[in-house]
Amino acid sequence: MRTKVAFTSAGIRCAGYLYLPAGSAPVPCVVLCHGFSGTMDRLFDYGERFAAEGFAALVFDYRSFGESDGEPRQVPDIPGQLVDVRSAVAFVRGHERVDPARVLLWGNSLGGAHVVTVAADDPSIAAVVAQIPFNGFPKKVEGRSTGETLRALGAILWDTLRGKLGLRPYYIPMVGRPGELAVTATAEAEHHIRTLTGGGKTLWRNSIAPRGLLQMMRYRPAEAAARLACPLLVCAAAEDHETPLESTRALAESAPRGELRVYPGTHFTFYTDPSFRDQVVADQIDFYRRASATV
């Protein structure tokens, strides 16, 4: 059963969907958190899969994205998103079908960093899955020249300044072709856009305020991982250029109870290959069951 829900986060309405398994008894609940420019519709499949295995699951949009409120739009604010995750946890803990002692966090890409950070300060979280998580930028972005890097930095600083002055954001594409000003500029741009949209109608927009990238330069989820009391499963891709294996490995190794699973493929294989996702989600469900049983 899927129900449209909403909760308040620091005065802002966040929209989401709550998936519930059959029955009436309280069950563990997975709170799912999307990535840098993502929207919750790309997580519906995960919500359905977890509910089919007896878990409740909440997917939601961060403030200023998708169906949630918040102005200006398409602004990825890390402190605000962390508040949104904490508010989502508080919302499910108050639901009659959720066992408040068995709330589980799941995050993809930047969301993977968020769930580690939130759980580090919440010892009641039962377990965390970080899928292709952000743990700092690579030293060099593959295929991007020095000139293109400087151009991107200029856009980040210009948008940051506009934000401080209360002006409309300076938007750039999230995904573009090589040489274009975009957060990710690759020869596979069109394929990546189809991946992020699911090939049809979607909440996702190929437009982003790049000021959030400046916040990400100072974001240190591995420091939070070192304080985690609960088990952490990091799911990584062997050929990931967006969140490289060496950085995701460091995140898993920082956690006292960290596990790392490496799968063949790239960052985008997690989005595009249903059989691949079957294996990944099966591993995540097994991990959650083991963690929930010890609570």
Whether residue 151 sits in one domain with residue 11: no
Domain containing 87 — which CATH number? 3.40.50.1820
d(CA 183, CA 208): 8
CA 153 to chain centre: 23
Residues 61, 119 share a domain: yes
Check whether residue 91 and residue 225 sit in a common domain: yes
At 295 the pLDDT is 80
Task: Give the residue from 193, 218, 243 where a domain finishes.
Answer: 218
Number of domains observed in the structure of the chain: 2
What residues in the chain have per-residue pLDDT under 70?
139-143, 189, 196-200
In a shared domain, residues 288 and 187? no
Verify that 172 and 188 share a domain, yes or no. yes
pLDDT for the residue 190: 72
**Angle value at C-alpha 207, between 204 and 213, nearest 5 degrees:** 105
**pLDDT score for 179:** 87
Q: Which residues contact 97 (CB under 8 A, 6 or more apart)?
A: 20, 24, 25, 26, 27, 56
Look at residues 218, 241, 273 and tell me which one is the last residue of a structural domain: 218
- Please report the DSSP string for 234-251 in residue order: EEEETT-SSS-HHHHHHH
Shared domain check, 74 and 44:
yes
For residue 141, what pLDDT is reported? 62
Are 219 and 76 within 8 A, CB to CB? no
Would you say 70 and 43 are in contact if contact means Cβ atoms under 8 Å apart? no
Same domain, 130 and 275: yes
pLDDT at 115: 98
Distance CA 49, CA 43 (A): 10
∠ CA(182), CA(61), CA(21), 5° rounding?
A: 135
| Whole-number pLDDT of residue 194 | 72
pLDDT at 142: 62
Which of 256, 238, 281 is CA-nearest to residue 248? Answer: 238
Residue with tokens 């508040």: 83
pLDDT at site 123? 96
* Listed residue (219, 215, 211) closest to 161, CA to CA: 211
Pairing state between β 27-33 and 98-108: parallel
Residues spanned by the domain of 243: 2-136+220-293
Verify that 85 and 226 share a domain, yes or no.
Answer: yes
Q: 106 with 245, same domain? A: yes
Cα-based distances in Å from 157 to 179, 195, 266: 19, 29, 30
248: left (phi over 0), alpha (psi -120 to 50) or beta: alpha
Same domain, 112 and 249: yes
User: In terms of domains, do 49 and 152 share one?
Assistant: no
Query: Whole-prediction pTM value?
Result: 0.94
Q: What is the largest CA-CA distance in the chain?
A: 59
Together in a domain, 174 and 263: no
Q: What pLDDT was estimated at residue 177?
A: 87
Indicate the residue among 177, 194, 218 that finishes a domain: 218
> Contacts from 253-258 at CB under 8 Å and sequence distance 24+?
254/222, 254/223, 254/225, 254/226, 255/116, 255/225, 255/226, 255/228, 256/226, 256/228, 256/229, 257/228, 257/230, 257/231, 257/232, 258/225, 258/228, 258/231, 258/232, 258/233, 258/234
Sheet of 27-33: strands edge to edge?
A: 2-9, 12-19, 56-60, 27-33, 98-108, 127-131, 232-237, 258-263
Residue among 103, 125, 121 at smallest CA distance from 27: 103
